[in-house]
């Protein structure tokens, strides 16, 4: 995998922006080019760039008559022409997030950022948005996560090591009856994790398995879930009151 880099251009520059209007600035500025081709030109005043172009279609350099950085997006063009260039270099970069452990591959730091990523080798692990990364580690060396899908499941961060789908399937496959036919609900992966009728496609009944733990039964007969913030039916469209479980 190629390393993500942030490019930095610093020096005395003329900054020209052509869009619906033309703007021009001159000064000693620092230009940042992010991996997604967003270009930000900063001076010494304030926190907002003096010029920018978000997710440019292209970023290139011209060396005719000096060094010029050119970013283009649709009809917009941002040009940074150097008069006294102090530097133009690349720096390794990564997503920044809350540290959650150590990468067993390279000993780099794992951070919670759009899943879990290593800041050094850039390995990425996709996890449910509601999952909690625990202080405990799997035998493979990765942290364990806790995700609630009917029960609270503690599994490895790496889904190829321990699968949340398999854990939910082992606990709830065929545990609930289809409300529209005589079939059972199977735990399936269809984009998301769903409880779908075994008689599909004859019966198209299916429900997304929500985050939370099973907490009694809804008035419709399907399981109710305690999500931590409320109590809801497996069927998100259910308009029947959820019964309070008996103790």
Domains and CATH numbers, the chain: 5-92 (2.70.180.20), 98-160 (no CATH), 169-233 (no CATH)
* 76 vs 233: CA distance, rounded Å: 50
**Phi–psi pair at 183, nearest 5 degrees:** -85, 175
Count of alpha carbons within 13 angstroms of residue 122, beta-carbon side: 8
Total Cβ atoms within 10 A of residue 54: 13
Asked whether the beta carbons of 16 and 79 are under 8 A apart, the reply is yes
Stretches where the chain sits below pLDDT 70 are 1-3, 241-247
CA dihedral of 8, 12, 17, 23, whole degrees rounded to 10: 150
pLDDT at 2: 43
pLDDT at 1: 34
pLDDT at 244: 54
Total Cβ atoms within 10 A of residue 39: 24
Count of alpha carbons within 13 angstroms of residue 90, beta-carbon side: 6
pLDDT at 106: 93
pLDDT at 14: 97
Cis peptide bond N-terminal to 32, omega within 30: no
pLDDT at 141: 92
Residues 6 or more apart whose Cβ sits within 8 Å of residue 171: 150, 151, 153
What are the angstrom distances between the C-alpha of 4 and each of 121, 127, 199? Answer: 10, 22, 47
Determine the distance from the C-alpha atom of residue 39 to the mean position of all C-alpha atoms in its chain, rounded to a whole number.
22
């Amino acid at each position: 995998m190629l390393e993500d880099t942030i490019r930095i251009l610093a020096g005395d520059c003329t900054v020209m922006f052509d869009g619906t209007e033309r703007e021009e600035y001159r000064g000693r500025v620092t230009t940042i080019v992010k991996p997604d081709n967003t270009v930000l030109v900063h001076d010494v005043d304030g926190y907002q760039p003096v010029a920018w172009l978000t997710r440019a279609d292209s970023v290139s350099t011209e060396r005719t008559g000096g060094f010029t950085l050119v970013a283009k997006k649709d009809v917009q063009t941002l040009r940074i022409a150097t008069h006294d260039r102090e530097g133009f270099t690349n720096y390794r970069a990564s997503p920044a997030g809350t540290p959650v452990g150590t990468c067993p591959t390279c000993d780099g730091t794992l951070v919670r950022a759009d899943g879990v990523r290593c800041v050094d080798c850039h390995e990425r692990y996709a996890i449910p948005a509601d999952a909690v990364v625990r202080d405990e580690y799997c035998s493979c060396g990765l942290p364990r996560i806790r995700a609630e899908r009917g029960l609270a499941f503690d599994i490895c961060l790496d889904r190829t090591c321990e699968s949340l789908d398999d854990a939910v399937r082992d606990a709830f496959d065929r545990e609930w009856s289809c409300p529209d036919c005589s079939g059972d609900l199977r735990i399936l992966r269809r984009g998301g994790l769903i409880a779908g009728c075994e008689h599909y496609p004859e019966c198209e009944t299916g429900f997304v398995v929500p985050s939370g733990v099973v907490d009694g039964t809804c008035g419709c007969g399907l399981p109710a879930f305690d999500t931590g913030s409320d109590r809801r039916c497996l069927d998100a469209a259910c308009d029947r009151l959820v019964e309070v479980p008996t103790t």
